[in-house]
Amino acid sequence: MPGCFDMQKKLNRGHARSVEKGYIEYEEKYKMDVTRETANGS
Protein backbone atom coordinates (compact mmCIF):
# COMPACT_ATOMS: atom_id res chain seq x y z
CA MET A 1 0.00 0.00 0.00
CA PRO A 2 1.80 3.18 -1.19
CA GLY A 3 -0.03 5.28 1.42
CA CYS A 4 2.04 3.66 4.16
CA PHE A 5 5.28 4.99 2.66
CA ASP A 6 3.78 8.48 2.37
CA MET A 7 2.66 8.19 5.99
CA GLN A 8 6.18 7.29 7.13
CA LYS A 9 7.67 10.22 5.22
CA LYS A 10 5.15 12.60 6.79
CA LEU A 11 5.90 11.34 10.30
CA ASN A 12 9.65 11.49 9.77
CA ARG A 13 9.54 15.01 8.31
CA GLY A 14 7.51 16.81 10.98
CA HIS A 15 6.89 14.33 13.75
CA ALA A 16 5.72 16.56 16.59
CA ARG A 17 3.36 18.62 14.42
CA SER A 18 2.17 16.06 11.88
CA VAL A 19 1.79 12.86 13.89
CA GLU A 20 -1.67 13.68 15.21
CA LYS A 21 -3.02 15.19 11.98
CA GLY A 22 -1.30 12.54 9.88
CA TYR A 23 -2.75 9.72 11.97
CA ILE A 24 -6.25 11.15 11.68
CA GLU A 25 -5.87 11.48 7.90
CA TYR A 26 -4.52 7.92 7.71
CA GLU A 27 -7.38 6.61 9.82
CA GLU A 28 -9.98 8.36 7.65
CA LYS A 29 -8.29 7.19 4.44
CA TYR A 30 -8.05 3.53 5.40
CA LYS A 31 -11.01 3.27 7.78
CA MET A 32 -12.89 0.94 5.43
CA ASP A 33 -9.84 -1.28 4.88
CA VAL A 34 -9.11 -1.49 8.61
CA THR A 35 -12.75 -2.25 9.40
CA ARG A 36 -12.84 -5.00 6.77
CA GLU A 37 -9.59 -6.57 8.02
CA THR A 38 -10.80 -6.45 11.62
CA ALA A 39 -14.12 -8.05 10.70
CA ASN A 40 -12.38 -10.82 8.77
CA GLY A 41 -9.85 -11.42 11.54
CA SER A 42 -12.42 -11.80 14.30
- Residue 3 — pLDDT band, cuts 50, 70, 90? low
Query: Does any domain span residue 28?
Result: yes
pTM > 0.75: yes or no: no
How many domains is the chain built from?
A: 1
Q: Looking at per-residue confidence, does 38 or 29 come out higher?
A: 29
How far are the Cα atoms of 21, 24, 28, 31, 41 from residue 18, in angstroms, in the given order? Answer: 5, 10, 15, 19, 30
Quote the domain boundaries for residue 8: 2-32
In a domain, 21, yes or no: yes
Asked if the structure places residue 27 within a domain, the reply is yes
Decide if 42 is inside a domain. no
> What band does 23 get if pLDDT is binned at 50, 70 and 90?
confident
Distance CA 12, CA 16 (A): 9
Residue 39 falls inside a structural domain: no
Q: What is the mean pLDDT of residues 17-39?
A: 71
